[in-house]
Structure 1
Amino acid sequence: MGSNPVTKKSPVVEPLAGCSPPGWLSDPDRLAAVAAAEPPAFPPEEYEDRLRRVREAMADNGLDALLVSRPSAVEYLCGYFSAETIPQPLFVTAHDLVLFVPDFEVGRAVASSVAPLVRYFRYATAHTAYAAVAEFIAHGVGGGRIGADSRTPITMIDVLRDAECDVEPGSDMVDAVRIVMSPAEIECVRIAGESTERGVQAAYLAAARPGATDASVAAAISGALVEQATSRSAWQVVVATGNRASIPHSTWRGVPLVEGSTFLEFAGTHHRYHAPIMRTFCKGEPSPLVSRLAGLARECVAGVLETARAGAPCDEVARTVSKQLGTLPEGVVFHELFGYPVGLAHPPHWMDSVPFNITIDNPEPLREGMVFHMPGSFRSIGEAGVGVSQTFAITATGTEVLTLGSAEMVQL
């Protein structure tokens, strides 16, 4: 993460189910070159602490082992990431950490993972290999109690149960652990916020050019996000202009920017840690409706940042801010979501963790080290939409905003 590269040992790499070993694995120089190609984002102590916390959670829940298949949770524990999207499970016990990948991904495992053991299966028959992975795991735990996260292939769960293992599906405890972030992780989000701000400034410059379209603004944002980044965003750049800004999750389609509000939403990243924002700019004088929506959005974000703190129940924060907003004008829509967790994420979205939202339905207290995106978007469907937001961390005394710039509509 910092300026000093972190080195790592090459893992033990072994075939599974009769898979032939890649030739380069037997060449020590090539193996060392692959292992050194990508220094880990964090020092060994960071991964050790994460693993310790997850193992404590396993013990508290009576689990002998845990199967982790959500890509962001796998990366959280061992650093592994790849552009490949098929399930590549991580097997965790009190003493072992084993990463399972296709043979074509062995290079990625050696380059990015700190797992001490990598087992690989044939890429060409990956759809049938999960049974062999499950058989290996069943043999290792001897019928013990295994947690399996919600991304675990059903084939693996069936094979484990056939082997008389007690499988607990939906055990997303890695996500429950990682929702409280370390100082090093929060620093990654802070750096991501700098990338996000480059996207914001690029958007304003592009929007001011003659003939600007929603697509040209999106292209400028995308270029700014990537130019100095270490990773890409898990979700697309959203640009919606005119009355299309009033339709949630609409995005660019190659049309000219119109008078009135244009809605933006995107995230800069650093090592796949995300710092999303919403921003809105207005061409020309804002209408009374757009001005009212902008005021509500600004007030909503400010209310959350002033109210949230470690120990505060989520529902109390949501009710307090909702009361501050008062009754919304007729026809104005707000999702009543006053914050959702963000951080390390893989596609398809930066909302890539267990639900722990700041809503009137969640009585759980906020904890120091949690990081949220507060999406202050207000819309009059079919007419106009305005959104502003910040990404922020929960501290002992309040909040720390990790994104840059003010959460206010900008007039161009």
Structure 2
Amino acid sequence: MSMVYERRLSRLREAMHEAGVDGMLITHAPNIRYLIATRASGILFVCRDESVFITDGRYDAQAHEEVKVAKVRITPRRKGYFDVAARLLNKYGVRNLGVEAEHLSVAQFDRLCNLTRGIKLHKLSGVVEQMRAVKDDDEIELLRKASAIASDALEYALSLIRPGIRERDVAIEVERFIKSNDAEDVAFKLIVASGYRSAMAHGEASEKTIEAGELVVIDLGAVFSGYHSDITRTVAVGRASKKQRDAYAAVLEAQLTAIEGVKPNRTMKQIESLARHKLRVKGVERYFKHGIGHGVGLEIHELPSPKEKDGGLLRSGCVITVEPGIYFEGFGGVRIEDMVLVKQDGHEVLTRAQKPEELPVL
């Protein structure tokens, strides 16, 4: 496995060269884990000739056990990570330092400026995140496992849904199921939103009691070896109205059309347009109030994204979610979400949970 991380560091150095920097500080924990395989707190210094992970005494044993492709430096007492980094910059003659602009507070940036006088700081964005957007075979297998756990958890969640149960009680039981089935954690706070609350795109489980005749949106995920999964299904309880069934049918058609459009060199924005067109034909596109999806991996939301300047370019190895939804305030909402792997010849749906052709009624 060390060779995998050595290759990643080599690719980072190539990106640094293109950005015109001869050193870089990595401060975002998922990026550090991606590059050197550690979950210990700290920062990573990379230059042309060396990589050094800077941490403190609390993580001494852990860092030395996990980090195989970089040196480990333990900060002296009453010294911070940036103090040690500043010394390394001088030691290795760094004159142009790249920093992760999106992952430094103003106070941290100001402190770094004070410690690195004479060194030009370059605010870089998305350098490691762009690398992470394309998964290797090992990462894809971890995502498959995370997705399988989430799919099983979704089926378990559906078995709990009935009139009279609180959303919160469903969430508690499903979280317990996820953690007892090889997941290290849930990917995010579970969404169990029923009735009028299903019109809340991020309606985390509440004290509300699920009632007959309501829509229920369930959105959950699992973390396996650091990699996240994300899945959403919508069901009705006891009975379903025509409006509920029509809404489900419209979202399902939009989602299936969008998934069929997933292939290399398309963009997330183009995939979203396919879904929006189907919803527009049905007269409900204005109720689709968010993007089509996001990349998923070491974080639940990562690149590619339709918000990028290029619209979120899809490359073979990207893993994304496809999750159109429509939301009627005071009535309810429908969302359907799967994880999709972009392949050289098209795509593969990683989510294995059932996706009925008609609105399921429990």
Provide the TM-score with structure 1 as the length reference. Answer: 0.80
Structure 1 segment 55-74 matched on structure 2, within 5 A: 55-74=13-32
Which of 164, 168, 190 is the equivalent residue of 1:215?
168
Q: What does residue 256 of structure 2 align with?
A: 302
Indicate the larger mover: 178-187 or 166-175.
166-175
List per-residue Cα deviations over 1:368-397 (Å, max 9, x = no partner). Answer: 001101122211012111111101111122
Q: How far apart in 1 are the matches of 2:111 and 2:87?
A: 10
Partners of 1:198 and 1:318 in 2: CA distance: 27
CA gap of 1:153–1:92, structure 2 versus 1, over 3 A, is: farther
SS of the equivalent of 1:229 reads coil
Alpha-carbon shift at residue 52 of structure 1 (Å): 1.8
Q: 1:152 aligns with which of 80, 104, 108?
A: 104
Is the deviation greater in 189-198 or in 140-149?
Answer: 140-149
For 1:360 and 1:99, the matched residues in 2 are separated by 30
**Following TM superposition, by how much is the alpha carbon of 1:131 offset from its aligned partner in structure 2, in angstroms?**
4.0
Cα distance, 1:336–1:382 mapped onto 2, change above 3 Å: same
Please state how far the C-alpha of 1:343 moved relative to its aligned partner. Answer: 0.6
Query: Unaligned regions of 5+ residues in structure 1, if any?
Result: 1-42
Measure, in 2, the Cα distance between the counterparts of 1:378 and 1:361: 25
Deviation (angstroms), 1:188: 0.6
TM-score by length of 2: 0.90
- Name 1:79's counterpart in structure 2: 37
Amino acid at match of 1:151: H
Kept after mapping to 1: 8 A contact 2:155/2:353: no
Q: What is the aligned length?
A: 356
Amino acid at match of 1:376: P
The answer (yes or no) to whether the contact 2:254–2:274 under 8 Å persists in 1 is no
What CA distance in whole angstroms lies between the structure 2 residues aligned with 1:364 and 1:267?
22
What is the CA distance between 1:138 and its match in structure 2?
2.7
* Distance across 2 between alignment mates of 1:279 and 1:364: 25
CA deviation digits over 1:287-318, x for unaligned, max 9? Answer: 22221221222122211210110122443333
Match in the other structure for 1:386: 334
> Whole-Å Cα distance in 2 between the matches of residues 399 and 236 of structure 1?
28
Matched, 1:368 2:312: no
Separation of aligned partners in 1, 2:150 and 2:242: 29
- Measured after TM superposition, the shift of residue 280 of structure 1 is 1.5
Look up the equivalent residue of 1:152 and give its one-letter code.
L
Aligned equivalent of 1:167, options 121, 124, 143: 121
Q: Which residue of 2 aligns with 1:334?
A: 288
The secondary structure found in structure 1 opposite 2:46 is strand
Instruction: Give the equivalent residue in structure 1 for 2:206.
Output: 253
Relative distance call for 1:406 and 1:133 in structure 2 (3 A) is: same
Residue 265 of structure 1 pairs with residue 215 of structure 2 = no
2:188 aligned residue (235, 254, 259): 235
C-alpha distance in 2 between matches for 1:325 and 1:256: 30
Local SS of the residue matching 2:4: helix
2:343 maps to which of 374, 390, 395: 395
Give yes or no for contact 1:314–1:363 (8 Å, CA) kept in 2: yes
